[in-house]
Each structure stands twice: as structure tokens, then as C-alpha cells.
Amino acid sequence: MHIVICMQNHAYVGFNMDNKMKILVVYYSRTGNTKYVAEKIAGILKARKDEIIDLKDRKGKITGFINSMSDSFQRGLTEIEFNEDPNKYDLVIIGTPVWSGGITPSIRTYLTKNGIKKVAFFYTHGRNPANVYKDFENLSARPIATLGLKGINVKSRESQERIKEFCNQIRNEVEI
């Protein structure tokens, strides 16, 4: 297994508006649903974003999908790239699509590589999110807030409300 980490020098490291807490939103997204939610959350909380890149090509509608299904079913790891060091942040908010009832290989690799202490967790899903919380918590600390949204509904009014609630819950937990 090979993990590539690209660290960049940033003068600004994701302080929220009041400079009280450094928050990072980390996510993987194959088709954009989780990315959409990540961008909303980062916008509301004024947090820095870091998109995890899975170096295995997962784009094709047939081969990409089948490879992804098979890798996630086996709960395997993959090669990833990301930019930010999560240890420099007070809270890391992690987002994933549900694959084979759990988290994606890229997020599994990220959590295995980084022992993050304070986390919040969100996911987007299709028909059945199944064991995604359990899968996440097996590799991570217990999240201070959680959110699950159906992928095809992420832009709905109801989802916008639930994203705001999730952010409010985080604000209350960490006293931003």
C-alpha cells in the first residue's frame, strides 16, 4: 500500500471567523454529492476544505463502479492524496459517500493513516446506508455530530435545513 501526502505551506490554516477554533472539512466524492455538502458545511462554518483524491481510477460508469464496489466490499485501502495535516486542526469534519454499506476505501485509508481525536461525520447515500456509522467509528473517535443525506436530495430545501442543523450542533459542541 502506498499513500501520497502533499503538504502545502499555507499562511492561513482554517481558523473560523472568531479565530477560536481551527476546523477542517475533509471529504471524498466520486460524483459530486458529498462534495456539494462539504462545500456547504465549510461555507457555513468558515472552515478550510481538503478533498481526498483516490489515485485509483474510479471514473468509468462500468469498470470504475465495479472496481469501487469490489474494493469497498473487501474493506480494503487505496492510494490517496491530500493536502492538509489534520493534526493542525482542533476539529476535523469528515464526509464520505456510502459504498457497500460502509465508508469508501479512500476515507478508510485516511482514517487509518491519521489518528484524529475530535471528529464530526457526514455521508451521502443511495438506497441503504447500512453500517456506515459503525464502519466509521471502528476507525475513528466517536463523532461529536453526524449527518446522513440521500445523494439525489442534497440540494433539496430539507437537506439545506439538515446541513444547517448539523453545523449548529457542531457550534454548540465546540462553542465556536
- Give me the residues that bind ligand FMN (CB under 6 A), please: 29-35, 65, 68-69, 72, 97-101, 124-130, 151
Q: Which is nearer to ligand FMN, 107 or 119 (CB)?
A: 107
Partner residues linked to 93 by β-bridges:
25, 120
What one-character DSSP code corresponds to residue 91?
A: E
Q: Which is nearer to ligand FMN, 32 or 76 (CB)?
A: 32
Closest approach of Cβ 34 to ligand FMN, in Å?
3
What one-character DSSP code corresponds to residue 52?
A: P
Q: Which residue minimizes CB distance to ligand FMN?
A: 151
Classify 175 in phi/psi space as left (phi over 0), alpha (psi -120 to 50) or beta.
left
Closest approach of Cβ 12 to ligand FMN, in Å?
26
Q: Which is nearer to ligand FMN, 21 or 98 (CB)?
A: 98
Q: Which is nearer to ligand FMN, 52 or 111 (CB)?
A: 52
The dihedral formed by the CA atoms of 8, 22, 117 and 50, expressed in degrees to the nearest 10: -40
- Residue whose grid cell is 442534497: 154
From start to end of 41-117, where are the E strands?
48-51, 53-54, 80-81, 91-97
Closest approach of Cβ 93 to ligand FMN, in Å?
15
Q: Which is nearer to ligand FMN, 8 or 128 (CB)?
A: 128
CA distance 125 to 112: 22
Closest approach of Cβ 17 to ligand FMN, in Å?
27
Report, in angstroms and rounded to the nearest whole number, the Rg of the chain calculated over CA atoms: 15
C-alpha cell at 17: 471567523
Closest approach of Cβ 72 to ligand FMN, in Å?
6
